[in-house]
C-alpha cells in the first residue's frame, strides 16, 4: 500500500513542479541569456514614453527549466512504476466461435489467486473457445464462470498449476472526480500491454446501447459510467482504468466514435458496480439487478409547470408503471396524459420522485445509480414523491429485474 501511495504522490509532485515552472517561465526573449518582460502594448499609448524593461536573470531561467525537467522526470517515473505493477495483472483474451461471430479478442484482469479473470460480457458472449495470454507471453485455456449482460461484465477462469497470479486492487470509484488522472491498460487492436493516459472527463454517464446486447432486455442501460479521454479502442474492452495509485477505477467497456476508434470519449464500468457484480458471478454464475418497475424521465421545466409545480422543481416524473412490479405494488402512479411539446414527450399527472431513502433525486440517472450502487433484491426503499403537488412517501420492496425471454 505504501508503494501505491508513493506513485500517486510522485505524479502530484511532478504535475505541480511542471505547473510552477511554467508559471515562472518568462514570456519574451530579447537577448541570449536574459528575458525582457515589458508592459502590455494595450496599456502604452503611442505618445507615451516606453517603460523601463525588467530583466530576469539567467540563473532564474535555468532554475525554472531545471524544475520543469525534474517534474517531468518524476512524472515519467511514476507512470513507469504504475505500469510495472499493474500490467502483470492485465491479460489479453482471444476468443473464437464456430458460428458467424468468428474470432475476436479483448482484454481482462486478474481478480484473485484462484485464477478468476474479469472481462466484458460482450468479449466472451457466444464464444466456444477462450484463451488468455498473460503479460509474460504465456497462455492458458479459460472457461466462463459467470456472465451478466446487463452490467456487461463476465468472469472467466484459468487453471492454476504452476502459476501465481497478481490480482488488482480496486479503487473507490464513488470518490472519483472530474479532472482526476486516469490510465488505461489493455490490448487495443490486439496490441497487448498498451498503456494510455488521460483524465476522468465526466462522471455519472448513462451508456445506452443502440441494440440489446446478447441476453440483455431492451431498454436497460449501463448507469453510473465513468467517462475518460484516455485512448480506448476496440480490444481495450475488459481492460482496466486505474488511478494515480495504480488502483482500478473501473473496466473499460465502450467508446463513442463514428469510426470505431478513440475519439476521446470512452466509457468505463465503475469499480463500485464491479465490486458488487463480480463476487456474485463467481459464486452463482449470475447477478440479479434490482428493479423498480417504472419508466420515467428527468422532470424539466415544461413538465413541472404542466403538473402545477414551480418551473424550478427537480425530480423524476413517472411515465409508466409496470403491472405487478414493485412500484405498482406500492401504489405509484404513472402519467395520465401528454402535455404536448417535444413531440408529445412531456408527461402530466404522474408521480414525481424527489428523493430515495432521503437522498435528493434531480434526474433519472440518479435513480438508476442509486439502485446500482446501494441496493439488493429484497431490500425495501422509501421514495419521496409529489402526487398532484402534494408530498407523500411510498415504501416498496425491490424485486429482480426481468430477464430477456429465452
237 is catalytic: yes
Enumerate long-range contacts of 53-60, CB under 8 Å, 24 or more apart: 56/26, 58/33, 58/34, 60/24
The burial of 221, by beta-carbon neighbours within 10 Å (0-12 exposed, 13-18 middle, 19 or more buried), is given as: middle
Angstrom distances, CA of residue 130 to CA of 140, 181, 205, 295: 9, 33, 31, 38
> CB 98: neighbour CB atoms within 10 A?
9
Rounded to a whole number of angstroms, the distance between the first and last alpha carbons of the chain is: 46
Q: Under 8 Å CB-to-CB from 370, ≥6 apart: which residues?
A: 356, 357, 359, 361
Alpha-carbon gap, residue 269 to 249, rounded angstroms: 8
Q: Under 8 Å CB-to-CB from 114, ≥6 apart: which residues?
A: 157, 160, 165
Alpha-carbon gap, residue 25 to 52, rounded angstroms: 20
- The set of cell numbers assigned to 159 is 487453471
Q: Specify the 3-state DSSP secondary structure of 75.
A: helix
DSSP code of residue 287: -
Which one of the listed residues 150, 152, 224, 243 is annotated catalytic?
A: 152
Which one of the listed residues 237, 243, 271, 303 is annotated catalytic?
A: 237
CA atoms within 13 A on the CB side of 248: 29
Angstrom distances, CA of residue 294 to CA of 148, 245, 288, 356, 372: 21, 40, 17, 14, 15
366 is catalytic: no
Give the residue among 271, 283, 299 at the shortest CA–CA distance from 372.
271
122 is catalytic: yes
Distance of CA 357 to the CA centre of its chain: 24
- The set of cell numbers assigned to 328 is 405498482
> Catalytic residues, which ones?
122, 152, 237
Amino acid at each position: 500500500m505504501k508503494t501505491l501511495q508513493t506513485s500517486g504522490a510522485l505524479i502530484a509532485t511532478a504535475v505541480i513542479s511542471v505547473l510552477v515552472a511554467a508559471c515562472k517561465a518568462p514570456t519574451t526573449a530579447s537577448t541570449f541569456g536574459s528575458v525582457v518582460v515589458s508592459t502590455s502594448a494595450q496599456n502604452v499609448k503611442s505618445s507615451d514614453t516606453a517603460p523601463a524593461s525588467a530583466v530576469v536573470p539567467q540563473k532564474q531561467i535555468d532554475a525554472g527549466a531545471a524544475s520543469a525537467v525534474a517534474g517531468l522526470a518524476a512524472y515519467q517515473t511514476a507512470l513507469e512504476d504504475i505500469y510495472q505493477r499493474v500490467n502483470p495483472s492485465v491479460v489479453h483474451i482471444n476468443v473464437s466461435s464456430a458460428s458467424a461471430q468468428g474470432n475476436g479478442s479483448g482484454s481482462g484482469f486478474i481478480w484473485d489467486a484462484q485464477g478468476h479473470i474479469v472481462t466484458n460480457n460482450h468479449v466472451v458472449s457466444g464464444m466456444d473457445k477462450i484463451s488468455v495470454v498473460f503479460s509474460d507471453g504465456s497462455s492458458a485455456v479459460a472457461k466462463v464462470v459467470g456472465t451478466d449482460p446487463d452490467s456487461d461484465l463476465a468472469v472467466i477462469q484459468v487453471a492454476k498449476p504452476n502459476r501465481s497470479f497478481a490480482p488488482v486492487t480496486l479503487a473507490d470509484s464513488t470518490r472519483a472526480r472530474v479532472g482526476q488522472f486516469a490510465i488505461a491498460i489493455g490490448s487495443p487492436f490486439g496490441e497487448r500491454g498498451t498503456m494510455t493516459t488521460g483524465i476522468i472527463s465526466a462522471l455519472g454517464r448513462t451508456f445506452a446501447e443502440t441494440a440489446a446486447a446478447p441476453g440483455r432486455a431492451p431498454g436497460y442501460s449501463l448507469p453510473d459510467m465513468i467517462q475518460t479521454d484516455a485512448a480506448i479502442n476496440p480490444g481495450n474492452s475488459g481492460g482496466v482504468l486505474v488511478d494515480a495509485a495504480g488502483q482500478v477505477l473501473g473496466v473499460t467497456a465502450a467508446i463513442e466514435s463514428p469510426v470505431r476508434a478513440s475519439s476521446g470519449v470512452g466509457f468505463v464500468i465503475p469499480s463500485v458496480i464491479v465490486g458488487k457484480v463480480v463476487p456474485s458471478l463467481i459464486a452463482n454464475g449470475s447477478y440479479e439487478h434490482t428493479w423498480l418497475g417504472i419508466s420515467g424521465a428527468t422532470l424539466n421545466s415544461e413538465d413541472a409547470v404542466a403538473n402545477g409545480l414551480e418551473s424550478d422543481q427537480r425530480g423524476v416524473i413517472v411515465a409508466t408503471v409496470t403491472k405487478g412490479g414493485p412500484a405498482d405494488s406500492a401504489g405509484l402512479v404513472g402519467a395520465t396524459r401528454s402535455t404536448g411539446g417535444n413531440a408529445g414527450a412531456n408527461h402530466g399527472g404522474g408521480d414525481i420522485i424527489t428523493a430515495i431513502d432521503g437522498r435528493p433525486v434531480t434526474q433519472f440517472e440518479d435513480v438508476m445509480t442509486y439502485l446500482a450502487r446501494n441496493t439488493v433484491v429484497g431490500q425495501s426503499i422509501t421514495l419521496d414523491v409529489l402526487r398532484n403537488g402534494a408530498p407523500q412517501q411510498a415504501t416498496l420492496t425491490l424485486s429482480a429485474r426481468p430477464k430477456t425471454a429465452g
